[in-house]
Structure 1
Amino acid sequence: MTTKRRSVTPDPRPAAAGRQPRDPADDVRQRLLSAAVAVLREDGFHALTQTRVAERSRLRQSHLTYYFPRRADLLMAVAETVASQMQARVSVQSNGRPLDIDGLRAVLHAQLADRELPRLMLALVAAADEDARLGAWLVRFHAGIAAMLAAALARAGVEAPADALAVFQATLVGLRVGGLMTGARPAELSSRLDRALDHLLADSSRDPGKVA
């Protein structure tokens, strides 16, 4: 008995207004990135290998190497993903109110407790010695973090001078790297961060109507 195959006719209806059809490739890439972030958070930076990420995503390693040919490509994408997650957290507080200084403190304190992202960034800094493209990416990434901090402070009613903001960002980086070197507890690092943030606020113009 011969089975007649059904032909599939494309749906002639247009996509919903304002919404483009989703590219399946975006889903694969996002699945790989989600797996990579999960490996970083749960197993640590040492486990963030292409093989481990492919296993976690339940995709073939050829998929991963197609989107991220080198480990450095994967590390850059993971760093950008984590930064985007942080940006989402500083946009609003958990209760949905506009961000205030206390909310920003809470987000920054949580970042200090993360020991794996600094390890990832240090690996990228080391690799940049032999890769000019990676060095340029680090400059852009650093500038993006500075812009994110400035925007978060502005939403909280604080206009920070560029020099003061640069010092605060350098302090934040130093605390995270120093925490790895010394094994300092998150509470100790948070106390130092609070003092640095207080100095930044003292050097900044503030809108009493926005600052909590």
Structure 2
Amino acid sequence: MKSRISRLASVMFIGAVLAGCSTFGNTFYTASYTSVSDAGYVIPAIPTEKIPPQYRRQIVNYATNEAPGTIIVDTKSKFLYFIMPGGKAMRYGIGVGREGFEWSGTARIAMKREWPTWTPPAAMIRRQPELAKYRNGMSPGLKNPLGARALYLFNKGGDTGYRIHGTPEWWSIGKAMSSGCIRMMNHDIIDLYERAEQGAKVIVQQ
């Protein structure tokens, strides 16, 4: 009887896992980009066929000496890796800083915020005076540039000013369009937010 219950539980678990996954060729995808209700907001569905396959959330083989829980950002390839045990990583497509706004280095996740307020830096307001109306902060929401979640990156010098965050502009993933922050699709930043711990190491490579 116990054996039968165990087998049933295993089948139910596998079914639940596969319900949120799909395969394409030899690639195992874990992503679902359907509409999501979150904290009173409804995140619109993203047309999966318009997301290049390499930028969809997926588990990949990844050899590294870094500990599980570390985040490695490959700005050249436009990938973010969340290191998992057993030589695996969850890989996400990202958008990165445009020319003149690139950066690299090591930081830590100092804070995590759900549906964060966005406050444009003074330098950004000087470049784009129309953003002055948000100098005291833009309220959370579907149009907020930080999207559904934000991870705030600090180093030994304090706040780097850079974030790993969601974006409503999902079409910018795979491109260099930001002011240095790491952009992710809202569905993906929610997934990463649940995995990444405050204090986690973040390595940004160029």
TM-score bin, normalised by smaller chain = under 0.3
TM-score in terms of structure 2 length: 0.26
TM-score in terms of structure 1 length: 0.25
Higher strand share: 2
Which structure's CA Rg is the greater one? 1
Higher RCO (Cα < 8 Å, 6 or more apart): 2
